[in-house]
Amino acid sequence: MKLLNVLLACALGSGIFGAALPASAQVYGGVYIQTAPPAAIYEAVPVAPGPGYFWVGGFWQWNGYRYAWTRGHYAYRPYAGAAWHAGHWVNGRRGWSWRAGQWGPPY
């Protein structure tokens, strides 16, 4: 019976505190921007620091006020055959949203 009371208290507590969060904290999938990102900046790709490294290109990141360029860098492949799927901005009904890049199988 005590376990049931604890579970009930947790469920009620999470419901109360979850409702108290500001609306921005409850948004899933990121922030929506009404202005399109600028064109990508060309970056000269330096020589790789060693075998197994992959160039992850730079991208425009929203800092809460404006777009700011994040420079590209080399990243080590997490496993053999991994391919980098670059992040990109998507224009939807609510505005522009960022889809982060990730490692995965080749297309």
Average pLDDT in the 36-42 region? 95
Confidence of residue 22 (pLDDT cuts 50, 70, 90): very low
CA-CA distance, 53 to 84, in Å (whole number)?
11
- Asked if 77 and 55 count as a contact pair (C-beta separation under 8 A), the reply is no
Its pTM stands at 0.66
Residue 48 in tokens: 């790789």
Q: Note whether 71 and 43 are within 8 A (CB).
A: yes
CA dist., res. 53 & res. 38, Å (int): 28
Share of the chain above pLDDT 90, in %: 65
**What's the pLDDT score for residue 33?**
93
Return the domain boundaries, the chain. 26-104
Per residue in 57-106, pLDDT (tens digit) is 999 999 999 999 999 999 999 998 899 999 999 999 999 999 999 999 98
Do residues 56 and 101 touch, judged by C-beta distance below 8 A?
A: yes
| The amino acid at 61 | Q
